[in-house]
Amino acid sequence: MNKQLNQRMQIAIDMPRQVDEEVAGDIEKESVFVSPAIDRIIVAEDGKTATVVLQDRRDVEAVMDKAARFLDVMAKQVSGYEIKVFSESVRKDEGPYQKDVNQGLVERGWVHDYGSGQVAYNGPVLKLAQLINEKAAELYAREFKAADGHFPAMIDADTLHKCGYFDSHPNAVTFVGNMIEDFDAIEEFRVANSCSEGAHMPHRDHVHIDGMCLNPAACFPAYPTLKGKRYETGECFTWMGRVFRYESRNISGLDRLYEFNVRELVFVGSEDYVSDVRNRSVPLVSELAAFFDMDCKLQTATDPFFATVSAAKKFWQAAQEVKNEIKIPVLDAEGQVKTIACGSINLHGNFFGERFDIRDTDEKPAMTGCVGLGIERWVLAAFTHHGFEPDRWPEEVRNRIFD
């Protein structure tokens, strides 16, 4: 990594103001969206300077200006938020955390990594993913009488716009393109590919993007289906959602995919109902972690909003404590412990109720909230906790996932 960095041009830049570790992490993650000429921006440990790693040397001045503007808006975020921990689970397995899990799963033939943030899996990985999904669904059915549902993987731009996604995460959207309905254009595309070695993409003018997108957050497709509902108390819905986020160069293993699966719970109704479901979902997270015998913390968090709106939206989120993350430890490439968010519990206030005409019996917009569990991250974390040998796994899990 360092060697590769050394071959690239690096420019040090002062941070407009000192930032903490959390903000530094966000800056590094979002920095892949600053300019095609920038590989990444790394904030120094003291939070006072940053290194801009350039991919090419053209227009360095303009590129650095862009980097400075990006850092300016990102550093406006308040550093030093107190992180509150709501619950903590500790595993019984005393073995060491397993290193290089992604690689180990690929070597065993249980995961195929396509290299673009997509994975195929089978054997114990598939069975574990299914078990995590099933177990969560079972807890939601038991506790909230949430019935299982199904939603499409594509979503239209108007719905995404209504959900506020373009305002919050415009960098992560994937638009679906189709060939124009034109005999000659389609024939040209066919001919170009009929004997070619690699794929030839159609001419830009021959593709139309009409607003169909790949769904970037599991709960969005549920809200249009609730239009016109009037709640006296409330209702819970759960399903396995297919989620797509354009993570650019941040994709890595099962941790940061382009396409992943989320077991979602959506709760909608009165303020009391929604806050009750939210509170009762906290011990369920601990129950799930205990079932798979994993270390886990549930703590306050904020969303990785796009740079220009980050400071304001994060401030609101942190102040209201509306987002909690399920943090589970894994090992990084150097074998150091880091935690990843394996899920989040979110309160949305009456935002979706208002936008999608979901109300209480007094015609006031209903409150909503959701819990999303990132299935592939749970898989990565579970293999990190118990390794590849069946005997370290909890018996009930072992019997289900290993033959």
User: Which parts of this chain interact with Mg ion (CB under 5 A)?
Assistant: 341
Which of 318/341 has CB closer to ligand ATP?
A: 341
Give the shortest CB-322-to-Mg ion separation in angstroms.
13
- Min dist CB 292 to Zn ion, Å, is 22
The β-bridge relationship of strands 323-331 and 296-300 is antiparallel
Alpha-carbon distance 15 to 27, whole Å? Answer: 11
Distances (CA, A) of 149 to 34, 53, 245, 274: 38, 45, 22, 20
State in angstroms the smallest separation of the CB of 279 from Zn ion: 17
**Closer residue to Mg ion (CB): 23 or 341:** 341
CB neighbour list of residue 154: distance below 8 Å, 6 or more residues apart: 176, 212, 213, 214, 215
Calpha distance 48→16 (Å, rounded): 8
- Nearest to Mg ion of 341, 397 (CB atom): 341
Partner in contact with 129, chosen from Mg ion, Zn ion, ligand ATP, none, beta carbon below 5 to 8 Å by kind: none
Residues near Zn ion (CB under 5 A) = 219, 370, 372
| Nearer Cβ to ligand ATP (261/270) | 261
- Comparing CB distances to Mg ion, the nearer of 81 and 393 is 81
| Shortest distance (Å) from residue 380 CB to Zn ion | 21
Minimum distance of ligand ATP from residue 306's CB (angstroms): 12
Partner from Zn ion, Mg ion, ligand ATP, none contacting 137, C-beta within 5 to 8 A by type = none
Q: Minimum CB separation from Zn ion for residue 346, in Å?
A: 6
Q: Which does 370 bind (CB under 5 to 8 A by kind): ligand ATP, Zn ion, Mg ion, none?
A: Zn ion
Residue 172's binding partner out of ligand ATP, Zn ion, Mg ion, none, with CB under 5 to 8 Å set by partner kind: none
Closest among 176, 270, 257, 165 to 219, alpha carbons compared = 165
The minimum distance between CB 323 and Mg ion, in angstroms, equals: 8
CA distance linking residue 188 with residue 8, whole number of Å: 40
C-alpha span between 235 and 218 (Å, rounded): 17
Largest separation between any pair of C-alpha atoms in the chain: 66
216 makes contact, choosing from Zn ion, Mg ion, ligand ATP, none, with CB < 5 to 8 Å by partner type, with none
Instruction: Using CB under 6 A, list all residues that contact ligand ATP.
Output: 217, 245, 247, 256-257, 260, 262, 303-304, 341-344, 372, 374, 376-377
219 binds, among Mg ion, ligand ATP, Zn ion, none (CB under 5 to 8 A by kind): Zn ion
Q: CB-wise, 131 or 342, nearer to ligand ATP?
A: 342
Q: Cβ(214)–Cβ(174) under 8 Å? A: yes
**Least separation in angstroms between CB 301 and ligand ATP:** 7
Give one DSSP letter per residue of 287-343, joined into a string.
HHHHHTT--EEEEE------HHHHHHHHHHHHHHT-EEEEEEEEE-TTS-EEEEEEE
Say which amino acid occupies 130. Answer: Q
The option from Mg ion, ligand ATP, Zn ion, none interacting with 377 (CB < 5 to 8 A, set by class) reads: ligand ATP
- Helix axis angle for 271-291 and 123-144, nearest 10°, is 140
Residue 374 contacts which entry, Zn ion, Mg ion, ligand ATP, none (Cβ below 5-8 A, type-dependent):
ligand ATP
Q: Which is nearer to Mg ion, 269 or 372 (CB)?
A: 372
Binding-site partner at residue 159 among Zn ion, Mg ion, ligand ATP, none, CB < 5 to 8 Å by type: none
For 25-64, give one letter per residue: b (16+ CB within 10 A) or e.
ebbebbbbbbbebbbbbbbeeebeebebbbeeeeeeeebb
Q: Which is nearer to Zn ion, 255 or 264 (CB)?
A: 264
The residue written with tokens 């160069």 in the block is: 249
CB closer to Mg ion, 296 vs 341:
341
Which residue, among 266, 269, 274, has the nearest Cα to 358 in the 3D structure?
Answer: 269
Which two structure tokens, joined as six digits, stand for 171?
């960098």
